[in-house]
């Protein structure tokens, strides 16, 4: 095995967020010649600009807006999977949002679990980027999703995630699966072992990170 050169870090960039190293053990998903293993689950531009994930999964609990997608894509130096609704935001609106996201430079679009197969098909027919369909429970008709044009599954089912990933993997050995890894290295390993090709990682909030920084500042001031 060839020896790798030492890592290169700058003084000001040592505070970068690092995704758990164990994520590197998964196979990754090859999209347009780029292999993606880790996705940071965030819409915070400060987080996105300061994390070493392979891509961003930018979904949020509001009606998707092109200005938000555009801002994230412009600020990001890694590929962005953009949320286009499918729950409250439905039908032609999701398709229009998906078209805008592709034109703005998204590497893929993500639809919520309630999205109808008709909308999945319309997106698949309209776009030349992957349509990522979110799976949140064991009741989903996986074959119907695939027939409608799903390109990738995004399994986000809390503690049931490894079980659902394993079930999909057994039935569809080659289908690309992104999955939430959970809070620990052990939970991430279980999800990878179940068959996930890529892992989404939820970073600490800016508020929490700033709290730690401020505590450090106070300690240093007290030391003087």
d(CA 196, CA 200): 10
Backbone angles phi, psi at 167, to 5 degrees: -65, -45
Other CB atoms within a 10 A radius of the CB of residue 165 amount to: 26
pLDDT band at 222 (very low <50, low <70, confident <90, very high): low
Q: What is the pLDDT of residue 2?
A: 64
Global confidence as pTM:
0.90
What is the per-residue pLDDT across 59-112, written as a single tens digit (0 to 9) for each? 999 999 999 999 999 999 999 999 999 877 778 999 999 999 999 999 999 999
The structural domain count of the chain equals 1
Q: What is the pLDDT of residue 10?
A: 66
In this structure, is residue 6 part of a structural domain? Answer: no
Please name the residue that has the structure tokens 């962005």. Answer: 80
d(CA 97, CA 108): 12
In this structure, is residue 47 part of a structural domain? Answer: yes
In this structure, is residue 14 part of a structural domain? Answer: no
| Beta-sheet pairing, 29-31 with 34-36 | antiparallel
In this structure, is residue 193 part of a structural domain? Answer: yes
What is the per-residue pLDDT across 33-67, written as a single tens digit (0 to 9) for each? 999 999 999 999 999 999 999 999 999 999 999 99
pLDDT band at 189 (very low <50, low <70, confident <90, very high): very high
Q: Is pLDDT larger for residue 205 or for residue 136? A: 136
In this structure, is residue 72 part of a structural domain? Answer: yes
Q: Which domain holds residue 140?
A: 21-223
Widest Cα–Cα separation across the chain: 66
What CATH number does the domain containing 93 carry?
A: 3.20.20.60
d(CA 151, CA 208): 35
d(CA 184, CA 26): 15
């Amino acid at each position: 095995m060839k020896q790798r050169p030492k890592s290169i870090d700058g003084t000001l960039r040592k505070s970068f967020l690092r995704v758990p190293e164990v994520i590197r053990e998964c196979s990754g998903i090859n999209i347009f010649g780029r292999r993606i293993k880790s996705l940071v689950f965030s819409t915070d531009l400060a987080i996105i600009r300061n994390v070493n994930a392979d891509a961003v999964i930018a979904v949020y609990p509001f009606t998707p807006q092109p200005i938000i997608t555009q801002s994230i894509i412009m600020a990001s130096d890694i590929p962005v999977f953009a949320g286009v609704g499918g729950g409250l935001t439905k039908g032609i609106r999701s398709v229009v949002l998906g078209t805008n996201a592709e034109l703005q430079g998204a590497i893929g679009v993500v639809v919520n679990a309630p999205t109808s197969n008709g909308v999945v098909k319309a997106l698949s027919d309209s776009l030349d980027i992957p349509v990522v369909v979110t799976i949140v429970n064991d009741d989903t008709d996986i074959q119907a999703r695939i027939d409608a044009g799903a390109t990738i599954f995004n399994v986000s089912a809390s503690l049931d995630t490894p079980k659902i990933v394993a079930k999909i993997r057994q039935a569809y050995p080659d289908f690309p699966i992104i999955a939430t890894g959970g809070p620990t290295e052990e939970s991430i390993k279980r999800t990878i072992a179940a068959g996930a090709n890529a892992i989404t990682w939820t970073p600490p909030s800016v508020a929490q990170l700033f709290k730690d920084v401020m505590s450090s500042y106070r300690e240093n001031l007290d030391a003087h």
